[in-house]
Amino acid sequence: MQDIIKAIEEASIKIKDLIETGDTGKSEQENSTGDTQLKLDIASDVIIENIFKQIPSIKAIVSEEQEEIVDLNEDGEYLIAYDPLDGSSLVDVNLSVGSIYGIYKNEFNAQNIVASIYVVFGPRVEMVVATDDVKMYRLLKGKFEFIQNIVLNEKGKLNAPGSTQNCWAPYHKQMIDDIFQDGYRLRYSGGMVPDLHQILLKGGGLFSYPGTTDRPKGKLRQLFEVFPFAYTYEKANGGAVDGFKRALEVETTHIHDTTPCFFGSKTEINRVLEVYKNNG
Ligand code: P6P
């Protein structure tokens, strides 16, 4: 695993430079989920894939920016699904973005995730590694230095209510309104990585991206967005659900599948489960 962490550190330093200097224009392509690919998306993906190709322990990779699985080493131990630059369109307005990595064994599915890593590119570059616990590192003078462990409080203060207005569940909006009535503060940038990083570092709360009327299975991708953060939140003493069950019990049928998702402290996650169960 250390070889993978080092590879992600090397890729992140290159991606940081790319963000600062790269062309944020649109490419001529769309990815598998129909998102228009920015040149930054493709360039970040190339950086990561070229570095992963040098790591013998990686058997295969799945990228948000590529349709198919890429086989690397037949005898490799790990499978990695990644989003090379999530929220890349936010670079144009100088908001934080991030890379997300789900590390699996045997199969690309929730039951086989063994670690997750994400990197936030903001005023500072920070990497969060979830294995048995959750550790945060910061890029300082060209090296990633350990900063702290991350543990969520039982109950938080922040609320990041993605796609609430378009949710298919009529009771969802009232649930979110009630949470705000309880004094939670709105924190939503439209970037999954910084939004979830903030909740982790500020003691907890709730991030929602439910199913919508046009996308009842949600927008966020299982293998390289939802499952890695679900793993991170559970290891940080929080939780992650699809509204009715643990996100890490969601079945994957295609490598680009999406799922509704909620991440947060235990109190907020239990509230989501209760509201969806009583009304669903
Ligand atoms: P919306 C970015 O495009 C992204 O995939 C996630 O980073 C973010 O949480 C979500 O979409 C934002 O979606 O519908 O609020 O713009």
Residue to substitute in 89, 209, 215, 261 for testing ligand 1 pocket (most ligand atoms within 8 angstroms of CB): 209
* Crossing angle of the two packed helices 192-201 and 227-235, in degrees rounded to 10: 0
Beta strand spans in 191-260 (E): 205-209, 239-241
Q: What is the pLDDT of residue 258?
A: 98
Spacing, Cα 87 to ligand 1 middle (Å)? 6
Q: Residues in the chain, how many?
A: 280
Spacing, Cα 37 to ligand 1 middle (Å)? 14
**DSSP 8-state secondary structure symbol assigned to residue 226:** I
Q: What is the pLDDT of residue 244?
A: 97
Q: What ipTM does the predicted assembly reach?
A: 0.97
pLDDT digits (tens, 9 = 90+) for 35-44: 777 889 999 9
The DSSP bridge partners found for residue 61 are: 70, 80
Ligand 1 atom closest to Cα of residue 162 = 15
Taking 80 as the threshold, does the pLDDT of residue 23 lie above it? no
Tokens representing 181 are 């009535």
Q: DSSP for 64-104?
A: TT-SS-EE--TT--EEEEEEEEETGGGGGGT--EEEEEEEE
Taking 90 as the threshold, does the pLDDT of residue 196 lie above it? yes
29-33, 68-72, 175-179, 248-252: least confidently modelled range: 29-33
- 24 with 40: CB under 8 angstroms? yes
**pTM for the complete prediction?**
0.96
**Spatial separation of the C-alpha atoms in residues 224 and 274, rounded to whole Å:** 27
Ligand 1 atom closest to Cα of residue 193 = 7
- 90 with 190: CB under 8 angstroms? yes
